[in-house]
Structure formats: C-alpha cells, structure tokens
Structure 1
Amino acid sequence: MIGSLRGKVLRIDGVTALIEVSSGVGYEVDMPVSSLSELKIDAPCFVYIHHVVREDAQVLFGFSTITQRSLFRALIKVNGVGPKMALAVLSTFSVDEFVSSVLQEKASSLEQIPGVGKKTASRLVVELKDTLKNFANDSGQSLQSKQGDVSSSDDRFSDAVAAMTALGYKENDSVKYVKLVLKEEPSLSTQQIIVKALSVISKGGR
C-alpha cells in the first residue's frame, strides 16, 4: 500500500493533484482544499496517502499532515460518510476546529459542510466523540499542534510513524511517541527512533 508520495506537482484539476515521483510516474491524488492550497505547480511536495483498492479502481487520497489523514480514516468509518464527504469535512474545517466541534457536541456547526444535514451532523458527533478524544491532550490541543518542531516532511519522522502503524499501533499514538523520542534525541536514525518509541510504550508511555 502507498503511504506517502514525494515528488513534483505537475497540475491541479479541481480537488485532484497530479504528482510525478522520482521514477517519472505520475499519480493522481484527491485532496482536501486545505492541503491543495499548500501545493504549487512545478514545485516539490510531500503528501501522506490513504490508498484505497477497489475491484474497479485504485484511489489515492492525499494530506499535508499525518493528523489530517488520521481524521480522514476516522471519518470514513462513520456510517454514511464516504471519502467525498470526508474530504469536504477537511476542506471546511481544520483538524482542531472539527475535533473541537465534535467534542463540544456542536452538531449545528457541522451543517455548513457540503452534503451534511442535521442527521449526518448528529451522527458525526455521536460516532466520533469517543474516537476524537484521542486527538486531544489535556488542554484540548490536537496532535497536529503536538508535533511541534518536528516537520511532517522529515523522512525519519514519517518513516518511523509508518513503521509503527504497520506494527499495529494507532497512527495518533505513533505520532505521539515518535515525536517524544525525537524531541529528546533529535539525531537518531529511523531504526533507532522506532526502537526507542517501542521502549517508551513498553514502559507505559513514560
């Protein structure tokens, strides 16, 4: 499965970016407006990918941060919410704004999302409230804020998080522990980061 792409933006059509990777292959990636706005034609880019394999097609969804991708994955698990609506959510709200609205049970504010009516807005709050608590720390800040000085385009950071999730750890937990390790020892290699992160988890996250 494709987890990320690094390359050059060839063109943007609507909500789809064509990204050429180093091998010369171009991938069409559907993205929320908030992520597309950060791309520039003929400029290098890095995006996290959610790869969907269907009987009749393979579809790539791209995001500028790993937290956006985590929220997208949580959204498409909600009954009646598909990828198109999940992209609409991320195009309308930042991760922080959406998480805050759900945790505060402000269903009415979610009705501004295209395609979301009163019933769907209420369903989003009910089905995501417990899940999205994992996106917030004690002060109500999302993991997007907690990444701090660790760049989402850092190869070691993204590779370590990808490895952790492949081992079965939740993506938001992987971000948390990898960031913690890098904050304490910023010069570690990817393998060393993973080993340290697993050690922290085995000790109860301390």
Structure 2
Amino acid sequence: MAENRGGRRLRLVSYGACLALVSLLGLAEATVRPAHAGGTLVHFEDPRFAPGTIVVRNGERRLYLVVGQGRALAYPVAVGKRGKSWTGQTYVDGKYVTPAWIPPAEVKRDIPSLPDRIPGGAPNNPMGIAALTLSGGEFAIHGTNRPDSIGRPVSYGCIRMHNDDIADLFQRVAVNTPVVALP
C-alpha cells in the first residue's frame, strides 16, 4: 500500500507530471547513468505482449517493458520469496512519488515490531523513491532502500527495482499499463 507524504493517494499520469518527477529526482533527460540504470534494450519476441506491456519473469528476476519490433527494455528486479511471488495479469492503478509504506497484514504478522506506517523518504521505508501500485492486491513495483536485494527472491510479492530504474520506468508508463507476471 502506498501513499504520498501528506497521506493522500497521488496519481501522476500526464507527461508533464512525469517530467516534473524527472526534475524532482534530479535526472536530466539524457544523463549518463550507472550500467544498471534505465533499462537495457534487448531482443524480446513474444506475440502475447503488446508494446507498452510490463512483463515480469520471476525466474529470470527481470522486468521487461515491451517497446515493440521485437525489443524490450530489461531491468533487474527482486521478486517474491518462495511461496510469495505472484503470477497473473493486472494493471498499474496508481503512480506515487516518495510513497509512505503501510505494511500489509501478512508482513506485520511476520514482523510485529514494524511500525504501522513508515513515512516516504524515511531510511527504513522499503518503497524507495517511487511506486507503481498494481490493481487487485497489495503488490507494487517500487524502488528499494536495499539495492543489494535486486536479483534475489526476497519480497512478499512486490517487485523491487533500483531507484534509478523505477524512476526511468515511472516516466515511461501510465496508469492502466498492463502488467503480466510469469513464473
């Protein structure tokens, strides 16, 4: 579950809002970033997925944004730990900058010492700098305060990305973007 600093759910869907996010995060439109940031253009031919679809391949620990013509942007991700990863189809239902985090009941049950709410921007907030919430549950694609977790099965079902990568993906997708998670 994500919310903005003021406790209200914030939806950013316009191109101008995405540019504002890029500016807010201090990213120039054509900056040189670390090798893991911004996605890598890769060969991706799967006729099931239209351009603009986010495809998560849990087994590969990769997220793909299909761009078309047999190509996609690939990002390394952390996925759900054993028994916690999800597969299926959904869509992005919200976009949030520096979201607060409210631990889902299952996480709170497993780690009762967690606070009921961790403010956005706090060092112990696991959501990172931005989040794309997914319809139909308590899952999100979000940044992380634990970059060492990327490439591993560690979450309760959320898809974690490097903060630079979620900033890049955030500006490329809109609310209602289809998301498909595969084993």
TM-score when normalising by structure 1: 0.24
Larger radius of gyration: 1
Specify which structure has the higher proportion of helix: 1
Higher RCO (CA 8 Å, separation ≥ 6 residues)? 2
TM-score when normalising by structure 2: 0.26
